[in-house]
Amino acid sequence: MAEQENIVLTEGVYYILLALTRPLHGYGIMQRVDEMTAGRLRMAAGTLYGALNSLQEKGWIRSAGAQEGRRKEYVLTEEGRVVLEADLRRLEELVENGRCVLGRRKE
């Protein structure tokens, strides 16, 4: 698991993993990411499904087993959660360092 501590996620992958803390199908993921980012990050279907395949191959997400018609649902795995939490710590460090250097330390 130590190698997961040094993985830097793209913003899109970060939000896909974050969205999949509950089972969702592809369109649901796109909606959830749009909602979390207030429309700033919009995922195209081709990009999303390519990322989903890659994330499944890495073992970070899996099929949730449930299907709504033709819609396949995905969910975060334990390994995916470890990767997501490690990247969150990295991002928190970036923000804290930026605040410190710019004199905007949060009290």
Could you give the domains of the chain?
2-101 (1.10.10.10)
Kindly tell me if the per-residue pLDDT of 6 is higher than 90: no
Average confidence score pLDDT of the chain: 91
pLDDT in tens, 10-29: 999 999 999 999 999 999 99
Whole-structure pTM value: 0.87
pLDDT in tens, 49-60: 999 999 999 999
Mean pLDDT of 29-56: 95
User: What is the model's pLDDT at position 4?
Assistant: 60
Q: Give dist(CA 53, CA 100) in Å, integer.
A: 39
Kindly tell me if the per-residue pLDDT of 34 is higher than 90: yes
Burial class (CB in 10 A: 0-12, 13-18, 19+), 44: exposed
